[in-house]
Structure 1
Amino acid sequence: MTADAPHDSTVPRATDRPGDASPFALGLLLRRAHWRAAAVMTEALRPLGIELRHFAVLVVLVNRGSTMQRDLAAATGTDKAGIMRVVDDLEHKGLAVRKAVPGDRRARAVEITPKGGEIFDAAHVAAEPLTKRLVAELEPGEAQQLMDLLTRFAHPAGEEA
């Protein structure tokens, strides 16, 4: 829209309020839902001494095993400097270790430690009651329906995970 173009009042305006008809509505609602879920998960992780960014890396390490540091950045949507800070934190806490990659002096693979596995498991226990609070407004069966829909949305058929 240019400065001299008139505003067309028939074009839906982007909001994240219920009933928004703009083409941005879904993305904005997903962003708001993410903020709510992230706040709840942050509350669950705080007593364990980790943050959501740490947990995201632990998830990848549990799912994939030893993972190249650069691949962790891609898997978590973090830039190279950001993933280095997260892995530094995890190493400092004894939750992960960097190991040399045979044949590549510069590359480092990251592995979860036994303590990291314990924190990962403890996070699930801590999150259970908070997750129930997160979906308390939904009717019976709707939480599972939401999970099913979001799974299909986040992992379209034919795309690699």
Structure 2
Amino acid sequence: MSADIPRQTTASRVTDRPRDALPLPLGLLLRQAHWRSATVMTEALRPLGIELRHFAVLIVLINRGPTVQRDLAVATGSDKAGIMRVVDDLERRGLAVRKTVPGDRRVRAVEITPQGVELCDAAHVATEPLTERLVAELGPGEPEQLTDLLTRFTYPAGGKA
């Protein structure tokens, strides 16, 4: 079985470049950046007993206040089953609670607890030095520029997690 590969009509092809000069497409570059940053963040969060997925939910809860699980899933890029496991973990540790939404007994809003706020603060403190190490090779103002660009890229309509 062969794939239908469109024929190149231009004289210059990307693969005609010298060896090691083929650029990574943006999606692959972002994936590599994610792996690098996730490794660093995981290292920083491990002593606190949480993972990136827990930290992400805590941040959303602080930014938005009580949030229904389906909206948490969208905000964190999770699925329904995944967000339920994360909220179960947070609830078990006393970092968040589920509450019934008035007018709809089937829907649950997740709310951060004071212990969750404390842990989120501790996670920010723990990740800051490692985050600074991630951007150490950037010049003055570039870490802020990178954050701004990634935020606009991730949330094109101006929305936030």
Task: Give me the whole-angstrom Cα distance separating, in 2, the residues matched to 1:129 and 1:27.
Answer: 27
Q: Any conservation in 1 of the 2:57–2:72 contact (CA below 8 Å)?
A: yes
Q: Give the number of the structure with larger relative contact order, counting CA–CA contacts within 8 Å between residues 6 or more apart.
A: 2
Q: What TM-score, normalized by structure 1, do the two folds share?
A: 0.83
**Unpaired stretches in structure 1, ≥5 consecutive residues:** none
Query: Counterpart of 2:62 in structure 1: which amino acid?
Result: V
Residues 96-135 of structure 1: pairs in structure 2 closer than 5 A: 96-135=96-135
1:51 to 1:81, Cα distance in 2 relative to 1, 3 A: same
Does the residue aligned with 1:98 lie in a helix, a strand or coil? Answer: strand
Residue deviations 1:87-137, cap 9 Å, x none? 000000110000111111111110000000000000111111111211122
Q: What TM-score, normalized by structure 2, do the two folds share?
A: 0.83
Query: Counterpart of 1:98 in structure 2: which amino acid?
Result: R
Task: Give me the whole-angstrom Cα distance separating, in 2, the residues matched to 1:101 and 1:79.
Answer: 21
Report what 1:45 is aligned to: 45
Task: Give me the whole-angstrom Cα distance separating, in 2, the residues matched to 1:5 and 1:59.
Answer: 44
Aligned CA-pair RMSD: 2.6
Report what 2:56 is aligned to: 56
Does the residue aligned with 2:75 lie in a helix, a strand or coil? Answer: helix
Query: Counterpart of 2:14 in structure 1: which amino acid?
Result: P
Does the residue aligned with 1:139 lie in a helix, a strand or coil? Answer: coil
Does the residue aligned with 2:14 lie in a helix, a strand or coil? Answer: coil
**Unpaired stretches in structure 2, ≥5 consecutive residues:** none
Cα displacement (A) at 1:142: 2.5
Superposition misfits of 4+ residues, deviation over 3 angstroms: 1-8, 10-13, 18-22, 158-161
Query: Counterpart of 2:95 in structure 1: which amino acid?
Result: L
1:85 to 1:6, Cα distance in 2 relative to 1, 3 A: closer
1:123 to 1:7, Cα distance in 2 relative to 1, 3 A: same
